[in-house]
Structure 1
Amino acid sequence: MIDFQLDAQSGVATYLQLAQQVRHALRLGLLRPGDKLPTAKEVVAKLAINPNTVLKAYRELEREGLVGARPGLGTFVLKSLSRHDPAEQTELRQQLAHWVLTARRAGLVDEDIEAMYRAVMRQDVNDTEALHGART
């Protein structure tokens, strides 16, 4: 089950944060079709937010066809956004976690790591391959 977290400093509406967290979990394979989302009551108890905020997030996800409400049962995942093998994703996530730990041990703070990540993501694939000598 997903464990929602809110960032009051983000400037992003609460319902959008909830919906985005579900999308991320779907993309990472952490949520799969058939999985049940927490009830609005459970989310309200944990995060101390208005129940309508949770329902608004779930309605947005429902409009996108990602989840569906079953009266009396709850809200369930209908489809995944993951396009990759779950085992491969797990391995890549572990490699990334190891890299982040190495970066932190080298003295980088989260802002440094994020800046480095964004710079690499903006690079052309050919530039990245050239850096590693992967071109044939």
Structure 2
Amino acid sequence: MGLVIEFHLDRRAGLAPYLQLVQQVEQALRLGLLLPGDQLPTAKSVVSALGINSNTVLKAYRELEHAGLVEVRAGVGTFVQAGTPPAAVPDHPRLRTRLATWMVAARDAGLAAEDVRALVSTTLREVYGAQERSA
């Protein structure tokens, strides 16, 4: 089996590296990219790939374990828990393709990644904030 998840860090994100790793696992679970029983990369491989301290990776894995999302098996590895909820976005490939098309158009229109991030964040608050107020 190949790597199920490949971590990356955005050093300009303003979010601690361990929290970025936690978010990436949570997002992969939400999208169904990680499934119960899947093994996360070893701390050693994440440290090597990202050039970060091993304590950062271990802290992220402990946080995920505390949240009940993964199980750490001493000497074996870190695995997605069997009781993890199924993907919240079952139709994500089609939606992701549409979003990618939109993002390419935004980039071609001259928007930088930070511009797109701000636009998406603002629109999320508007759409989901209005939805929550009407519920």
Q: TM-score, normalised by structure 1?
A: 0.79
Match of 1:103? 106
Residue 42 of structure 1: aligned partner: 45
Classify the secondary structure of the residue corresponding to 2:12.
Answer: coil
The verdict on how the C-alpha distance between 1:99 and 1:57 changes in structure 2, with shifts beyond 3 A counting, is: same
- Partner residue in 1 for 2:58: 55
1:33 aligns with 36
How far 1:19 sits from its partner (Å)? 1.2
1:11 aligns with 2:19: no
Shift of 1:90: 0.7
Q: Give the conservation status (yes or no) of the 8 Å contact 2:43–2:54.
A: yes
Aligned residues between the structures: 125
1:114 match: 117
Once the two structures are superposed, residues 31-88 of structure 1 have per-residue CA deviations (whole angstroms, 9 ceiling, x without a partner) of: 1111100001111111222222211110110010000012222100112462232xx1
Q: How far apart, CA to CA, are the structure 2 residues paired with 1:36 and 1:23?
A: 14
**Structure 2 unaligned runs (5+)?**
none
Question: How many angstroms apart in 2 are the aligned matches of 1:108 and 1:94?
Answer: 19
Q: Does residue 89 of structure 2 align to residue 84 of structure 1?
A: yes
Does the alignment pair 1:123 with 2:126? yes
Aligned to 2:71, what secondary structure does the other structure show?
strand
The Cα offsets for residues 85-116 of structure 1, whole Å up to 9 and x where unpaired, read as: 2xx11100011001111222223332332333
Q: Scaled by the length of structure 2, what TM-score is found? A: 0.79
Larger Rg: 1
Between the aligned partners of 1:124 and 1:55, the Cα distance in structure 2 is 36
The alignment yields a C-alpha RMSD, in angstroms, of 2.2
Which letter does structure 1 place at the counterpart of 2:45? E
Q: CA deviation at 1:123?
A: 2.6
- Unmatched 5+ residue regions in structure 1? 129-136
